[in-house]
Structures are given as C-alpha cells and as structure tokens.
A and B are shown apart, each in its own frame.
Chain A
Amino acid sequence: MATLAAPVKPSRKIRTFKFRRAILPYLYLMPAFVIMAIITFYPLIFQMIISFTDFQTKDLLLQLKSPKLHFIGIKNYVDIFTGGLPVQNFDFFRILTYNFWWAITNVAVHLPAGVLIAVALNTNGLWFKRFYRAIYILPVVIPPLVIATVWRNIFDEQYGAMNQLLTTIVHWFGSVDPVRTRWLFEYKPPIPWLLPNGPLPLAYYAMMIANFWLGWPFMALIATGALQSIPKDLYEAAAIDGASNQQQFWNVTVPLLRPAMIPAAIYGFTMSFNLFSFVYFMTGGGPARTTEILVTFVYSLVRDLRLYGAAAAFSVIIFVVALVVFLITNRITRATETYSE
C-alpha cells in the first residue's frame, strides 16, 4: 500500500509546483493590468462601441442606454476618410501625412544634432564640461506649456524676438524696414514642393525651430550615457592602427552608439507623433489646420464640435495607426524580448 501511495504524492506536488510556476508571471503582471483595464482598455473598448453610433452631448448622461442613441454602422469612419465631417479644411490623409512627416523630420534633426553635440562635449579635457552639461539639459525640465507659450511669443508678428532679431540683421545690410514675418499665420508654403500632399506653412518651420530646442537635449543625454560606456582602449587601438578622428567616429563611435540610439529615436518619434500640448499651445493646429496632428484634431472634435461619435472613430483610427507603427518599430528594437533570447 505504501508502495502504491508513494509515486502519487510527488507527482501531485510536481503538478502544483508546475501550476504555481505557470501562473506566477501572471500574478506579477496583475496590478499593472488591473489599473490598465480600468484606465486604458475599458475606455478603448467604449470608444470602439460609440464609434459606430451618433453619440452626442444629449447621450452623455445615459450613455449607451440612451434611447436617442442610434447605431449608424461605419458612417463615422466613411465620413473621416472621405472628408465628410462638418469641419472646414479637413482632409484625413493630409493630416496623417503631415503627422508622419512632422515626427520623422523632428527625429531626423534631433538625433544627429544630439549625437554630435554629445560627442563634441565628450572630448577629453574640455574645460567647463560639467557646467555645459548642466545647462544643456534645462529644456527637458521646463513644462511644455511654458515652452510653447514662450516660443509663440518669440514668433509673434509684432513683438516677437525672432522678427526683432531679423530686423537687426537686415539693418546691418542697409535695410530700414522692420521685418514683419507672420510666422504662425502665413498660409502660403515657402517651399511648395517639399511635401506635395500637404502644404507646409511657415508655422511648420517655426515649430521645427522651437521643437529643435526642446528635442536635441534628450538625444544628447542618451548619447552621453552611451558614449561613456564605450571602452577607451577601443579608441587607443584605433589610433595605433592609424585611424583619423573621423575614421574613429564612423568606425568606433557610431556602431557602438547604435544600440542605445535606436530605442531613443523611436521614443522620440512616438513623443513627436503625439506631441499634444506643444502643438496645441503653439499654433492650435493653424493656420487653416495645416499644422494639425491627429491628437490635436481629435481634441478639437470633442471640445469645439462635440462630435463624440466621430471623435471616437478618429481615436480608434489613431490607435490602429500607432499600433502598426509600434509593431514595426518593435521589430527593429526588439524591446519586448527577454534577456535570454
């Protein structure tokens, strides 16, 4: 009897052990998913449902139980794609292209600038290095609202610092007229062929300048960290082999910076892609919605037009676009892989 019972006991033990081992990761993930279920997933599903309805202000109280709520199928989506929303100057594909263009050009400017500045500042024996490093990260810590407000005033037509600066420069060349560039309101694109699908007004360039100020310090911060982890003897070995400074940069620095800079670039891309508060306060999407990005547009759908159903459909579209971008970039960075893989 004892010989019969003996093999059963350990096998059950092993089974419970295996079961515990299998559910353990889920236990560790539970708090995160409980919070996200309430705050992210429920609203997302709710958005998906009401994106098929004509949800309006009068339905806010009773929500889905409201008798006046009508399911209208995919009309909201059709309206968005065909420009059928009651909004002036609205073209979904133009906003989408502009949004991608905006995010890509930002990263394309911030990343090289950040890396080059970090490399220059990492030179051995440069005086006041710590002072410069402290100054250079200041843009990261200033609230975006303040940054947008200040830059909006810098690009002001009459009192703006930018026009005053240009006036001074023009005076040196003998002109007496003050410069009155309407940075944020001029509709005519200065370089019409640059993005054929959507005109890039002067405001785009003004925002690029302002966002450059905001964006490169983060890249320089990451690059500095990565540079400090590159072993010095690699440079010494390269120097002994007769590599010039330039060759050392391209053959040692750049390849070793890559693993740190690719995730940073993608993070920067996501941030620029959804840069709500900066765009909203700098131009509010103007002039004539040419600098509108997807998130500022969905906000104006809710806040100004109260088209909850259409806004929900728009949010679902943003979600799908962002998910596709994420899945592609995830392939590149392999952010979701385990250590051992």
Chain B
Amino acid sequence: MSATTQSAKKKNFIIRFFTMNTSREVGGRTLPLWRQIMLQLLALFIAFEVMFPIMYIITLSFSSKTTRPSTLQLIPTEISLTAYQQVIDRPTANPVTFAVLLRNSVLLSFSVGFVAILVAVLASYAFSRFKFKLRQVLMVLVFIPLLMPGVGLLTPLFLLLNSFRVADCGSGMIAIAPFTACAQGVGKLLFNLRDSLFGVGIAMTAGALPFAVWILKGYIDTIPLELEEAAKIDGADANQVFTRIVLPLAVPQLAVTFFLSFMGYWQEFALPWLFLTKPQDYTLSMTLYNMVGQYASSIPWNRFAAMSVIVALPVAIIYVALQKQIVSGLTAGGIKG
C-alpha cells in the first residue's frame, strides 16, 4: 500500500514539474514547462536554419585561404584576420582605398534615403488628405517603379543620363550637352551625369519612392483627423497643418522609412555597376559584385566573405536595434482596416 502512494506521489511530482507555469505571469494564460520546452526546441531549430548560411560566411571570412570551401564548416577552426586586412587595404584591383568606397556608399545611400523620404512625405500627405480629380490615376503612376523593375528601363535611362555632359572645348569655352556642343572632334569631357554618383543617385531615388510613399501614406492615414480639424478651427491652412501637425507626428515613421530605403540602396550594385566607370566612384556593394565571377572556383572566397560581413554588419546592427520601431512602422498602414 505504501508503495502505491509512493509511485502516485512520484508521478504527481513529474506531472507537476512538467505542467509548472513558466510564463512568470500571475493569472492570465499559463505556459506549462512541457510546452516551453517544445517551443524552445522549435525556436532553436529555426535559429539554426537561419544561422546556417550566415555561419558559413563568417567561418569563411576568418579563413586565411582564398580557395573554395570543400567541406561543410560552420564553426571557425582558425581565426585569421588576413581576409579582412586584405579587403580593407586593397578592396579592388584598382587603386582606390576602402575609405573612398565607404564614403561613396554612405553618401549615395544616405542622400537617396533622405531625398526619397522628403519627396515621399509630401506626396503621401497629398494622397492621404486631399480629394482631387486625378488622385487614383496619379497614385497608380507612383507605384509604377515597383512594377517596372529598373532592369527593364536600363537602356533608355543610360542613354538619357548620358546625354547630359559638360565638356571643356578649350580656349575658355564650356559646352553643356545637350544644349550646346563643342566643334566636331575637340573637347575634353569634364562631367557626365550618367558616369557620376549624382546621376545614379537620381535614378535610385525614383526606385525608392513607391515603397516610401506606401509606408508613409499608411502611417499618415492613422494620424487622427480630429487633431487637424482642431488646428483648422484655430485658423491653420493645409500647409500649416502639414508642417505643424503631420510632419512632427510622422518623424518616427520617417526614420524607419529612411533606414529601409538606406538599406536597400546600401546593397544595390547592378545600377551603379552598369553606369559608373571611374574607380573613385565605386561603392562597397560593387566591390562585392566585382568578386563574384561566372564560376564559383574563381571567387576569392575568404575575401568575398569578409567583404560580405563588412557590408552587412552595420545594417544588421541598426536593424536589430531599431527592430521594434521597424515592426510597428511596417504594420502601421495595415492595421487601420
């Protein structure tokens, strides 16, 4: 008899242990230990799935050999910073320093992000708050770059930007194409819009607009109209409503939009690669592209991996730090329904 009570107690203890509430919350929904363990296992499995290719890159970046990895290795066996040192000392075959590449990358993606939110917030305000005849049509037009990928428009864009040039004709004459031109056969090209960071920046801004308008409009839609009506009663016109009420309230969302556009163009390589020819205009992402050849055996794997880590790390840190804001920013428009 005593044996049976013993086993009942034991069983009782095991059951109690596995159904223990682990949610550290009093009342409300409880999370028994067995479910906690199951969920932890699932979460760890997903974390492994996510980290698998990332660890692969990190391991490669710490290797001192440029050869292609022949075995699967996820944990670095040697910590060698040779690859990092090499890409920072001499990122490309051209005489251009890492600092210049970094400056170009930051300059390009920063200005694209900044101009994109500036232009997009004006447009989103108009789309969100005004009723006008062409509203629907214009809004569809704004989304065209999202539908029509840059690849499909490359040739005419190239030709268009290429036609804006400044040339020195000698003897103090300066010709600005397409308006004036030097005499046939003379003239030294000073500036070509297509072959400049400025031209590439304009081209990228148009591509960044639809996404920026989309999430900014979604956010402005959620700003309560009552605030604006109160301001209007106090005599504010539409411009004042925009600068005094909508703009200050939209700052967090502007920051999120800026960062997301910044990130997208921080990674962009195709457009600059096709348009820019001067090594001093190259960006970090272009260097990455430069390393990837047609065949996997020709890639300098450790340097490629090190460069990937260098390009991805700053964005990853900001993304993780701003995660809460990004999450609420991206979903702001969707919840109103």
Once the chains bind, are A277 and B270 in contact (CB under 8 Å)? yes
Chain B residues contacting A47 (CB-CB under 8 Å) are 152-153, 155-156
Report chain B residues within 8 Å CB of A142: 54, 308, 312, 316
Residue of B nearest to A131 (CB): B47
Interface flags, B290-305, vs A, CB<8A=1, else 0: 0010001001000010
Cα–Cα, bound, A202→B69 (Å): 23
**List of A residues within 8 angstroms of B130 by Cβ:** 24-25, 28, 338
B141-175 interface (Cβ within 8 A of A): 141-149, 151-157, 159-160
Binds A, one of B83-91, B95-103, B180-188, B202-210: B202-210
Q: Could you give, for residues 286-300 of chain A, a 1 whenever the CB lies within 8 Å of some chain B CB and a 0 otherwise? A: 000000000100110
- A312 and B123 within 8 A (CB): no
A208 at interface, CB cutoff 8 A: no
Whether B68 and A159, one on each chain, are in contact in the complex, defined by CB atoms closer than 8 angstroms, is: yes
A165: B residues at CB distance < 8 A: 72
Q: Which residues of A contact B320 (CB under 8 A)?
A: 134, 137
Contacts of A146 in B (CB 8 A): 57, 288, 308, 311-312
Query: How distant is A170 from chain B, measured CB to nearest CB, in Å?
Result: 15
Task: Check A326 against B140 for contact (C-beta < 8 Å).
Answer: yes
Q: Determine whether B119 belongs to the interface, using a CB cutoff of 8 Å to chain A.
A: yes
- Which B residues are CB-close (under 8 A) to A264? 334
With a cutoff of 8 Å between Cβ atoms, the chain B residues found around residue A50 in the complex are 156
CB-CB under 8 A for A141 and B151, given A39-B206, A126-B43, A281-B292: no
From 159 to 189 in chain A, residues with beta carbon under 8 angstroms from any chain B beta carbon are 159, 161, 164-165
Is B327 touching A24 in the complex (CB atoms < 8 A)?
no
Given A38-B202, A145-B292, A340-B225, CB of A123 within 8 Å of CB of B50: no
B127 CB–A CB distance under 8 Å? yes
Please determine whether A302 and B155 come into contact, CB atoms closer than 8 angstroms. yes
Contact A161 B22 (CB under 8 A): no
Interface centre among B131, B239, B331 (most CB of A within 10 A): B331
Q: Is A252 an interface residue (CB 8 A)?
A: no
Whether A43 pairs with B140 at a CB distance below 8 angstroms is no
Contact A263 B334 (CB under 8 A): yes
Within the assembled complex, what's the spacing in Å between the Cα atoms of A312 and B40?
52
11 contacts between A and B (CB under 8 A): A29-B126, A32-B213, A43-B153, A126-B40, A146-B312, A147-B53, A149-B299, A152-B296, A260-B334, A298-B152, A326-B140
**The one of B29, B308, B323, B326 that contacts A235, using a Cβ cutoff of 8 Å:** B29
B235: Cβ under 8 A from any A Cβ:
no
Assembly CA distance A188 to B49 (angstroms): 28
Task: Give chain B's interface residue range (CB within 8 Å of chain A).
Answer: 35 or more
Shortest beta-carbon distance from B60 to chain A in Å:
9
* CB <8 Å contact, B152 and A339: no
B40 touching A125, Cβ below 8 Å: no
Complex-state Cα separation, A244 to B335, whole angstroms: 25
- In the complex, the answer to whether A319 meets B221 with C-beta atoms within 8 Å is no
The number of chain A residues touching the other chain, given as a range, is 35 or more
CB distance from A132 to the nearest CB of B (A): 5
- Asked if residues A270 and B327 are in contact (CB atoms below 8 Å), the reply is no
Find chain A residues with CB under 8 A from B29 CB.
124, 235, 239
Cβ of A89: which chain B residues have Cβ within 8 Å of it? none
Q: Provide the bound-state CA to CA distance between A327 and B31, in Å.
A: 45
Known: A40-B153, A42-B160, A145-B292. A140 touches B213 (CB 8 A): no
Q: Is B56 an interface residue (CB 8 A)?
A: yes
CA distance A226 to B39 in the complex (A): 21
Cβ of B68: which chain A residues have Cβ within 8 Å of it?
Answer: 153, 159
Q: Mark B32-56, 1 if CB is under 8 A from A, else 0.
A: 0001100110110011011111101
A81 CA to B160 CA, complexed, in Å = 29
**Which secondary structure characterizes the binding site on chain B?**
helix
Tell whether, in the assembled complex, residue A22 and residue B47 are in contact, meaning their CB atoms are under 8 Å apart. Answer: no
B152 shortest CB reach to chain A, Å = 4
A50 vs chain B, min Cβ distance (A): 8
**Complex contacts, A239 vs chain B, CB 8 Å:** 29
Give A94 to B206 CA distance when docked, in angstroms.
Answer: 31
Stretch touching chain B among A4-12, A68-76, A216-224: A216-224
Q: Is the CB of B140 within 8 A of A315?
A: no
Query: Known: A124-B31, A141-B315, A336-B136. Contact between A43 and B157, CB under 8 A?
Result: yes
Please state if B123 and A125 are interface contacts (CB–CB under 8 Å). Answer: no
- B288–A145 touching, CB < 8 Å: yes
Could you say which residues of chain B place their CB within 8 Å of the CB of A83? Answer: none
Across the A-B interface, give the 4 residue pairs with the lowest CB-CB distance, nearest first: A125-B23, A260-B334, A225-B331, A259-B337
CB neighbors of B among A124-156 (8 A): 124-128, 132-147, 149-154, 156
CB-based contact A149/B292 at 8 Å: yes
Q: Is B198 an interface residue (CB 8 A)?
A: no
State whether the Cβ of A274 lies closer than 8 Å to any Cβ in chain B.
yes
> In the docked arrangement, what's the CA distance between A24 and B22, Å?
58
Question: Is A36's beta carbon under 8 Å from chain B?
Answer: yes
- B153 / chain A contacts, CB cutoff of 8 Å: 40, 43-44, 47, 315
Judge if A90 is at the interface, Cβ distance under 8 Å: no
Min distance, Cβ A280 to any Cβ of chain B, angstroms: 9
A287 to chain B, nearest CB (A): 15
